[in-house]
Structure 1
């Protein structure tokens, strides 16, 4: 009896030693997987970008990345099943190393930001930038995490079937009701903004400009960008013809009106005619037109026809064909009318961003059949969307538009046509795609010669065809 009790007592002692609890420190450390995921998120979000980035933008990117990392770590634990937590020492080491790596990533990001800012002539940042980023990112990540927990608890309370039904109903209503209503409201807003008159911009008086008293195109119909276009430049004798969306009801009528107003202004008596393809909102870069007028000593006429009043991204997604049809119709009509002149002018097609996408098709279809189409200039062409054969291409290395494409997920961008204007980050799979996507939002928030901003070299680089 004594022997059996002693043996039992020994086994119980051994069992207790196997499950001896870890000493409590009063601090709850994150799991090893959570620390690894958060560190990876910090490294990815702090990777070098193309453009200087405000602290708010960087904080949003980092915060969203952290929230996604937390969700991935949680999902992985759920998928792999419950396992015994790692030892406290492993958790502490992982958290500590992760914190050091994250701190290094933030400091490296500040150094990179300052390199970009020096090259682009913008003020540098200091440690306050890091504080703003870390504080903002933490708030964003926690907010998203709390929202995720609330949704999870709601779905748990409702049950899987009801949750799926609710998600389906919300998706259907969003697709058929919310999205169309939002698009309609945005379209109305864009149309109102396009038609609104700015008292600071007055109608031109020069005969050579659309919107002038002698013009066939009424001033009020030119649209916001058209009014800026016709009143710009240093030499009012240069011909600038513009037809807005409100100037005529159909594309054919707008093109016919543009050619008629060019004739009135004497455009076909100039040695060069530039067919400028606007961006989605109808914008034509003043730098390009001024550069062309300088290049050809004023002996040039520029024509543009508006095909949309929406931003380029919206037109590119929903109405790219409108841009292509307009560019082709204008180029063909101008070339046909130029052919009837006793001394036909040479024709150059110009486009920036979406304008280059629309203009490249027209240029390629006409350049081999019409000798008067003698050159083209594409500024900031979207990656892979423009045929650059026979054209002059201006592409800043810091321009996210010329680098962004789905291919960036798994392969480096084609930089053969870009010109260095700032330090260029190395390509990283997936990370470069995310960073470039974020940079798209600020592509125009820099000076000419950087990002998606181009200077007068758009015009001065146009070829002399004679």
Structure 2
């Protein structure tokens, strides 16, 4: 028979286990953090995400357990043991499935396999965060607040693509190949810069070229050089590419603060270009192609709509690369292609994906590396796409938000 002191010790140990509602809250949050995305995650990102989600679950669970303790007696020892044991097993199973999924994604994109550091980040880091919150909540709260304040002052979202190293000039610049003509930055006034850019295009022999590409840049004025190379190759070098900057800040800042400038600048430029092209016979003018990537795709699609309403015969085609979800029209009246990598979170991310699955435009062509995908879930899908944004620019061409010369492909059925 079990002695009385041993029985009391066993009961005390059982009461020392966390309340069931706290265990359920922590494990649920932890599983949300481990829900699969479409891009590999390094150990640091994994540690931050799992620890953050588990910490939120711990705080919510503590509040719920305090509220529940006022309404009903404390759970018995056996219930605590069963729920705690089940929670540990479920969390361990979730970690194992997460490693398996990471292995699939990494193999698909050619990334190194998961290492011991990833295991530590996915298990030890969140466990330590939960233990700190549950055992020393006040000290942990002070440390967490200090860390958040420090991070807010030192960290900023990453720039889009290769924005770095290609600043927006204030004067017209012609590339060394003579194909890319970059207008001056004079936002919010676009009329005069657009006029001067079109004149520069005409003086460079643009009217005699096979095509003229209006490339709407990203927020920093960047135009993907892979797309430039693709259009040069497609038209055998007989092409001019015009781009008019509308801001000189990272794209995410331009998108948040005033994405209308991308629309205004692109419409102004095509309006000036149309004044010249409309006066020439259809067989004696270059093909007009609209192109934009990311935030630039928003401006390019707006220019497409304007041309369809005012000069539909001038527009040959529109090429949009990775437009943010829900920012361009679902369909087009003129030839259009929307290029998107299967693993790109930018084309899936929007606040609307909190409650509905993301929808691609009708003329979307999915490319890039094939990666395993899981069914969309409300809230969870949005959260995981948000995390994937952190690594969207880390992979090679064809992975995440990285694109190559395939952007310049013609719309199906049109000549090269």
* TM-score normalized with structure 2 length: 0.83
Does 1:364 pair with 2:311? no
The question of 1:291 aligning with 2:230 is answered yes
In structure 2, the CA distance between the partners of 1:359 and 1:100, relative to structure 1 (3 Å rule), is same
Q: Distance in 2 between matches of 1:388 and 1:304?
A: 25
Q: Give, in angstroms, the shift of residue 29 of structure 1.
A: 1.2
Q: CA deviation at 1:320?
A: 0.9
Could you tell me which of 228, 242, 251 is aligned with 2:182?
242
With a CA cutoff of 8 Å and minimum separation of 6, indicate the structure with the bigger relative contact order.
2
Cα distance in 1, alignment partners of residues 79 and 365 from structure 2 = 47
1:460 to 1:123, Cα distance in 2 relative to 1, 3 A? same
2:353 alignment partner, one of 401, 408, 416: 408
How far 1:327 moved relative to its partner?
0.9
Partner of 1:6 in structure 2?
Answer: none
Q: Is the Cα contact below 8 Å between 1:56 and 1:133 reproduced in 2?
A: no
What is the 5 A alignment of 1:46-85? Answer: 46-82=34-70, 83-85=72-74
- Encode CA deviations 1:358-396: one digit per residue, 9 max, x unaligned: 111110121253211121011101111101533101112
Corresponding residue number in structure 1 for 2:400: 451
Q: How many corresponding residue pairs?
A: 385
How far the C-alpha of 1:243 sits from its partner, in A, is 1.8
* 1:284 partner SS: coil
Matched, 1:108 2:97: yes
* Residues 136 and 244 (structure 1), Cα distance of their counterparts in 2 relative to 1, 3 Å cut: farther
Counterpart of 1:378? 320
Q: CA deviation at 1:78?
A: 3.8
SS of the residue corresponding to residue 305 of structure 2 reads helix
Work out whether residues 46 and 121 of structure 2, in 8 Å CA contact, stay in contact via their aligned partners in 1. Answer: no
Deviations 1:166-196 (A, max 9, x none): xxxxxxxx9xxxx9xx8xxx9xxx9xxx999
Counterparts in 2 of 1:277 and 1:141: CA distance versus 1, 3 Å? farther
Change (3 A) 1:398 1:89: same
Q: Deviations over 1:75-126 (max 9, x none)?
A: 2234445232212222122111111111111111111112111111111113
Question: Deviation digits for residues 123-147 of structure 1, max 9, x if unmatched?
Answer: 1113441113323334455667789
SS at match of 2:222: coil
Q: 1:349 aligns with which of 280, 290, 313?
A: 290
Partners in 1 of 2:79 and 2:64 — Cα distance?
19
Q: Deviations over 1:222-259 (max 9, x none)?
A: 6xxx98x935xxxx2x521002427x883222212211
Alpha-carbon contact 1:59-1:132 (below 8 Å) kept = yes
SS of alignment partner, residue 290 of structure 2: strand
2:362 aligned with 1:419, yes or no? Answer: no
After superposing the two structures, state which structure 1 stretch, 418-427 or 352-361, moved more.
418-427
Contact 2:215–2:291 under 8 Å retained in 1:
yes
- Relative to structure 1, the CA distance from residue 267 to residue 143 in structure 2 (aligned partners, 3 Å threshold; closer, same or farther) is farther
Which of 30, 33, 48 in structure 1 is aligned with 2:18?
A: 30
Displacement of 1:37:
0.8
Task: Give distance in 2, aligned partners of 1:140 and 1:336.
Answer: 63
Structure 1 counterpart of 2:113: 124
Where does 1:90-109 land on structure 2 (aligned, <5 Å)?
90-109=79-98
Unaligned stretches of 5+ in structure 2? 1-7, 143-148
Higher deviation after alignment, 392-401 or 21-30: 21-30
Q: Secondary structure at the match of 1:24?
A: helix
Q: Is the 8 A contact 2:213 2:288 kept in 1?
A: yes
Q: CA 1:289–1:142 in 2, change beyond 3 Å: closer, same or farther? A: farther
Contact 1:449 1:455 survives alignment (8 Å): yes
Q: Note if contact 1:351-1:378 (Cα within 8 Å) is conserved in structure 2.
A: yes
Structure 1 stretches lacking a partner, 5+ long: 1-19, 154-173, 199-218
Cα gap change, 1:152 to 1:457, in 2 (>3 Å): closer
On the 8 A contact 2:43/2:117 being kept in 1, the answer is no
Cα separation, 2, equivalents of 1:296 and 1:49: 38
CA offset digits 1:51-70 (Å, max 9, x no partner): 11111111111111111111
Distance 1:315 1:36, change over 3 A: same
8 Å contact kept, 2:188–2:246: no
Q: Which residue of 2 aligns with 1:15?
A: none
- How far does the alpha carbon of each residue in 1:344-370 deviate from its partner, in whole angstroms, 9 at most, with x for none? 211110011111111111101212532
1:247-280 CA distances to partner (integer Å, 9 max, x unpaired)?
x883222212211221222122212100000011
CA distance in 1, matches of 2:164, 2:401: 26
Structure 1 residue corresponding to 2:409, chosen from 452, 455, 460: 460
Deviations 1:189-210 (A, max 9, x none): x9xxx99999xxxxxxxxxxxx
* CA spacing shift, 1:400–1:334, aligned 2, 3 Å: same
